[in-house]
A and B are shown apart, each in its own frame.
Chain A
Amino acid sequence: MVIENVLAALNELATVQTFILMVIGVAGGLIAGAIPGFTIAMAVVLTLPFTFGMPAVQGIATMVSVLVGGLSGGLMAGILTGIPGTPSSVATTFDGHPMAKQGKAGLALGIGVWSSFFGGIISAILLMTLAPQLANIGLEFQPWDYFMLVMFALTITASLAGKNLIKGLIAGVVGLLVRTVGEDEAVGMARLNFGNDALLQGFDFIAVLIGLFAFSRLLHDVRDPESARKRLSAGTGDGNISVAIEHLAAIKIIFKHWTLLIRSSLIGVFTGVLPGAGGSIANILAYDQAKKTSKTPSKFGTGTPEGIIAPESSNNAVEGGALMTLMALGIPGDVTAAVMLGALLVHDIVPSPTFITEEPVLAYSIFLSFFGATFMMLGLQSGMLRIFVLVTRVRMYMLAAIILGLCGIGVYAIHNVEFDLWTLLWFGILGVLMRQFGFPLAPMILGVVLGNIAELNLARAMAITTDLTLFVTRPWALFFLIIAIFSSAFPIYQVYRGAKKWTMFYLPVACFAVSGPLFMMGGVPRTTLAAVVVLFGAYTLWRRQQAGWVFERDEEEIDEPQISEGK
């Protein structure tokens, strides 16, 4: 069955036109990733209008290619100039740039490129094998569970999105509210349109995304007239672009650290599965883990290969995890996956637990294009080195004006509706204001994306029974509710960690609470998992009691970066 699906998908993908589009997509993603301030999500958002006129498989393959290219584009600029092209390449510069300054730029680039490649491949294998399993679990979900899953996704995104949890939650709720404008999907009644007929269709999701995200970001970047006129990487790096990538030496070094590669890739996949967390967090987490487990931690920051392998393999593995939850559950793991969801919706495809079984060709096309794009990325990285460095010398004002102009055409092209351009403008203004006042955009975007799913499942649940207790008594619904509560409390826990006594009990209590619904689910694997979780909670409690109710040194946290809206 799997082989049949793979062959069918391969048949769809194996056209010259799709191949060319994928190469262009990877190249575009790599260039976008190399430009500081131009996030991957923005590149994917801007690609979306182009894919509208394409067949679904071709359009999705192009989007996946941009995504894979973007994930790797940041490392070139980061290693050579010290300026990470994307937030997901921040940790790469810690050792990549020092290594380049020692005259080993070719080796540093080689390690970065091949770590990205192996991270992407591990992630693609996991995506292909685990997504159908996750979809099987998703088949157990009833409307109550789905509703609570959406609430969990929103709360965890809000809690990860910034210092102020309330602002994050407000942004998420505003996103949900935006989605209610226009005719409701269940009975077609006009809502919150204030008598305006244009608003009856609601705000187009893509126009909202581009406005909030790309439009506001560009305006934010050109706010300062002086820096808008400067080159993006002016005055940094020696601009040495006559570097040859040392492939063989790099592969040998990576194989020598194969455990680090696999562990970092797994960190990336797990971070991707988690709603709201992305490459910006994964690369720092993987770097920190690599340093903690290294035999020579003091060498980190001076140009050690481990310091490049860990972040680069993890940030490329992230998207496999994010696509996993998107394809198996219909829930985007981050903003980039939300845009991918938009791309699927544009082609009238609604991801759900039955998506992989009902649309196997399309699902396996996504898997295969992820694989294919990773190989293309490897080839293009080596051939386009000069371009990566040159694009970092572009002036911000030029980039902003061109992209704004292209937005004006692209957004119209999706539905041929002029109102969408007005939506772009208004949400662009809203995005600038939100950035200015410190409201994170990621929860709002997820709110806009997930609003319909939440309402439809609420309506389905209420149509089955009006018993509201099912939202807290069904095992999966309760499971999501508990992790939503603990993830919301996490920022407060981080602030008071060690200073207040209750923080000693946060992790054990979370373990005990989560084990409850796991026990309720029944079955040997889940009961065993629940028992392990309870034992871990009890062990943590015991260790803290033994330590005299103080946090042990090895539990000290790293300075996690603020999640950015893009990766």
Chain B
Amino acid sequence: MRRLNQDAVIAIFLLLASGILFWSTFSIRTPDYGVLTPAAWPRVIIFALALLSFLYLIQSLKKGVDENAVADREPGLKSWLVYWQNPIYCFAFFLTYLLTLPVLGSLIGGVLFVFILMSILGGVSKEKIVTHAALSLATVGGMWCIFTYGLEVILPQGMIFSAF
């Protein structure tokens, strides 16, 4: 594994995914009518994906491991987490926003999401908290009002908001 470069690992992953997806096409029901079966087009695409992944694998194996490559971070899980901390925060908070959507709704949840994310990414100080709160209320609140009252789109209200 150590001798494989990043591209080779991705190529192997894609080949495995192609295999699983191709296998799953056999569970697609075939109707008695029509010339092109529902499984035909996905199979063509998956075959093309497998072929390209194979070429990608050969290309990456030929390239080999670049011993002189300078990594932009130290090896190890801790370093990886530090390197990716901001995107991880974004995903984690967006995931939380989705999971709490039935309770908080898009207005309260959205404002909290933007406020917390800003405070985590930008740091906390008295001045910043006021700015972040004002910005979250103005942007999410404004958009919520445009959709709800201007475009008459029903957004998730959430249990808290519906109670009022």
Contact = CB atoms under 8 A, between A and B. Distances in A.
Interface of A: 50, 52-54, 166-167, 169-170, 173-174, 176-177, 180, 184, 186-187, 189-192, 194, 218-220, 222-225, 228-229, 395, 397-398, 400-402, 404-406, 408-410, 412-413, 416, 418, 421-422, 425, 428-429, 432, 437, 454-455, 458-459, 462-463, 466
B151 A53 contact: yes
Top 7 closest A-B pairs, CB basis? A53-B151, A405-B114, A397-B121, A189-B38, A401-B117, A219-B87, A401-B118
**Majority secondary structure of chain B interface residues (helix, strand, loop or mixed):** helix
A225 B117 contact: no
B39 interface: yes
A410 B21 contact: no
B42 interface: yes
A219 B24 contact: no
Interface string B95-110: 1011001000010011
Interface in B102-156: 106, 109-111, 113-114, 117-118, 121-123, 132, 135-136, 139-140, 143-144, 146-147, 150-156
B29 A190 contact: yes
Contacts of A223: 83-84, 86-87
A408 B101 CA distance: 10
A170 B113 contact: no
Contact of A405 (B33, B46, B113, B147): B113
Interface in B1-52: 6-7, 10, 14, 21, 24-25, 28-31, 33-36, 38-39, 41-42, 45-46, 48-49, 52
Given A52-B153, A177-B21, A410-B143, A404 B94 contact: yes
B121 A191 contact: no
A170 B153 contact: no
Question: Of A180, A190, A192, A401, which is in contact with the most chain B CB atoms at under 10 Å from its CB?
Answer: A401
Contact of A173 (B10, B48, B110): B48
Contact of B36 (A167, A186, A404): A186
Given A173-B48, A404-B94, A463 B143 contact: no
B90 interface: yes
A409 B36 contact: no
Contact of A421 (B98, B136, B139): B98
B94 A408 contact: yes
B118 A397 contact: yes
B79 interface: no
B161 interface: no
B46 to A, nearest CB: 7
A170 B41 contact: no
A177 B46 contact: yes
A52 B152 CA distance: 11
Given A177-B46, A180-B45, A225 B121 contact: yes
Given A406-B140, A437-B6, A463-B35, A425 B86 contact: no
A413 B143 CA distance: 11
Interface in B47-78: 48-49, 52-53, 55-56, 59
A123 B56 CA distance: 40
A170 B95 contact: no
* B interface bracket (residues with beta carbon within 8 Å of A): 35 or more
Contacts of A219: 86-87, 90-91
Contact of B146 (A50, A167, A397): A50
A194 B24 contact: yes
A402 B38 contact: no
Contacts of B10: 437
A187 B34 contact: yes
A400 B122 CA distance: 11
B86 A187 contact: no
Given A404-B94, A404-B113, 6 more contacts: A189-B31, A191-B28, A225-B121, A395-B122, A397-B121, A462-B35
A311 to B, nearest CB: 32
B49 A173 contact: yes
Contacts of A402: 114, 118, 135-136, 139-140
Nearest to A167: B56
A167 B49 CA distance: 11
10 contacts: A166-B56, A220-B87, A405-B111, A406-B139, A409-B110, A409-B147, A412-B155, A413-B153, A413-B155, A459-B41
B114 A404 contact: yes
B87 A222 contact: yes
A428 B91 contact: yes
Contacts of A429: 91
Contacts of B41: 180, 184, 454-455, 458-459
A416 B101 CA distance: 13
A406 B91 contact: no
Contacts of A463: 34-36
A220 B94 CA distance: 15
B110 to A, nearest CB: 5
A422 B41 CA distance: 26
B55 A166 contact: yes
Contacts of A408: 94, 97, 106, 109-110, 113
Contacts of B132: 398
Contacts of B36: 186, 458-459, 462-463
A53 B153 contact: yes
A488 to B, nearest CB: 12
B44 to A, nearest CB: 8
Given A186-B38, A219-B90, A223-B86, A192 B151 contact: no
